[in-house]
Structure 1
Amino acid sequence: MTTTEGGSPDAPTESDESAADAADESEAVEARYAVILDHLPHGRADDDRPRHRKSPLAYALGERDFRLFELTLSDDADISIGDRVVIGPTEARDVVSGFKQVDYDDLSNNANAELEYAVEEIIDANEQRFVDFYNDAQPITLRLHQLNLLPGIGKKLRNNILDQRKRGPFESFEDLEDRVSGLHNPREVLTERIMEELRDDDLKYKTFVGREQ
C-alpha cells in the first residue's frame, strides 16, 4: 500500500496532492507530523543505483493516525531518529520532499526496533487524546465494544470503565487507574493495541491505525 510521492497522508490515492492543494485554498490546513524511526542518508541498501543518484530516505510514523511512511528527504536534511518532521501540507514541509505509505513488513530493522518507543512517545505527548478514547469508546456491534479490543479488557472491566465514566469523564491515565478497579497501566494497554494493529494488516477492526483521530 503506497501513496503518490508528495501526496497527503490523509487519503492515500493518486489525487492526494491536488486534493490537498484544493483544501489549502479553501481553509487553513493544520500541519501533520511524523516521527522518524530510521534515517537512511544514502538510500536503501537494496537500491543498485549509484550513490549520487539515490536520495536520502527515512522511515516514519504518522502522529495522528499511526500510518507508516517511507520519506524522501532533501539532500541537506539534518534529522535524527525520534525527530518530528512535517509531512503535510506540501508547502509546510521543510526536509521532506515526498513520501509513500508502507506496511509494517517494509520497515528496516532499525525502524522496527524504534516503533514501539515512538508509539509510546506519541501517546505521552497527547495524553488527553488517548484518555478520551476511554471516555468516548462506543459499541461496535451488539456484543462487541471498542473497549473490548484493548488487550486484557473483558466484559467485567469494560463495564467498570463505562460505569465510572458516567460519573464524569476521565482526566488522565492516573485518574483512570484510580477510579477503575482492575485497570492497570491504561497507557501500556493502548500501546499494545496500536502495535497489534500496526503488525497485523488483516485485523477486522482497527481503532487507531489508519484512522483520523
Structure 2
Amino acid sequence: MRVETKESQALAIDVLRHGHADDPRPIIKREPIVQAIGVDQFKLLEIIPKVSDIEIHELLYIGDGERPKVERVKRRLKYSELTATAKLELPYAIEKIIVENEERFIEIFNKSVPISLKLHMLHLLPGIGKKLLSEVLDARQKSPFTSFDDIRTRIKSIPHPERMILDRILEEIKDPDVKYHLFTSR
C-alpha cells in the first residue's frame, strides 16, 4: 500500500564490530556492520558505519547528504539474514518507532479504506474482524481518533492498538509472501 522510496533514517538493531562471525577473512580485515531497520518503511538494512561507537536502538541518518556515523548502506536484508540479537531487538525497535510516531500510525485507524468488497484495510490488523471493524468505523465517523489512548478509551475491545500495528509490521517483515503491505515495502 506504500510507495517505495529510500529510507532516510534507521534504528540499529545489532552492531557487529568485527563483521560477520562466518566471514573467512582475518578479523583485522573485516569491516564492522550494523543491522538496522528503516524508520519509514521498515526495510531491514546492513550498514557500514564510519565510527565504532554505535549503540543498539540508536537512530542513524542514512539519507542523502552528510552522514556523521554512516559510511554507506551496503544492502537490504531478509528477515532470515538477521543475527539472533537483531531478531530479538526487532520488536523493541518497531515499538519505539510506533510510539515516537504515534500520529502516523493513528492514520490507519482514521483513513483506512476497503481493499475489496469483502476485505477492509483494518481487517489486516490482527484481531480485527467484522464486528470490531464496524465499531471502529462508527467511532471514527463521529470524530477522528487522536491517540492510542483515544482508541483504547472509545473502543474497549482494542486495549493495545500499538500492539496490533507491531504484530502486523512483524508479519509483513517475516513473511515474504504476505499479499498486502500496510506499513512495509516489498
TM-score, length of structure 1 as denominator length: 0.82
1:83 match = 58
Q: CA RMSD in A?
A: 1.5
Secondary structure class of the residue paired with 1:164: helix
SS in 1 for 2:99: helix
Give the match for residue 15 of structure 1: none
- 1: CA distance between counterparts of 2:20 and 2:95? 27
**Percent identical:** 40
SS in 1 for 2:72: strand
Q: Which residue of 2 aligns with 1:33?
A: 9
Residue 179 of structure 1: CA displacement? 1.2
In the alignment, structure 1 residue 93 sits paired with structure 2 residue 71: no
Aligned counterparts of 1:57 and 1:43: Cα–Cα separation in 2: 5
Matching residue's letter, 2:16: L
The answer to whether the aligner puts 1:50 opposite 2:37 as a matched pair is no
- The DSSP-based 3-state class of the residue aligned with 2:62 is strand
Tell whether the 8 Å contact from 1:127 to 1:172 is kept in structure 2 after alignment: yes
2:110 matches 1:115? no
- d(CA) in 1 for partners of 2:148, 2:71: 37
Structure 2 gap ranges (5+)? none
Deviations 1:72-106 (A, max 9, x none): 112x33111110001111x2312211221111000
Structure 1's unaligned 5+ residue stretches are 1-8, 12-30
Tell me by how many angstroms 1:107 deviates. Answer: 0.1
Deviation of 1:47 after TM superposition, in Å, equals 0.9
**CA separation in 1, counterparts of 2:137 and 2:114?**
11
**1:37-77 Cα shifts (integer Å, max 9, x gaps):** 00001111111112232111010010111110011112x33
Matched residues in 2 for 1:52 and 1:10: separation?
35
Tell me how far 1:182 sits from its aligned partner: 1.6
The answer to whether 1:201 aligns with 2:176 is: yes
Residues of 1 paired with 2:67 and 2:52: CA distance? 11
Alignment of 1:162-201 (within 5 A): 162-201=137-176
Asked if 1:63 is matched to 2:39, the reply is: yes
Mapped partners of 1:105, 1:159: distance in 2: 37
Work out whether residues 160 and 181 of structure 1, in 8 Å CA contact, stay in contact via their aligned partners in 2: no
- Kindly provide the amino acid, as one letter, of the partner of residue 42 in structure 2: F
Q: What's the CA shift string for 1:81-135, capped at 9, x where partnerless?
A: 110001111x231221122111100000000000000010000101111111111
Superposed, 1:141-156 pairs within 5 Å as 141-156=116-131
Q: Which consecutive aligned stretches of 4+ in structure 1 deviate over 3 angstroms post-superposition? A: none
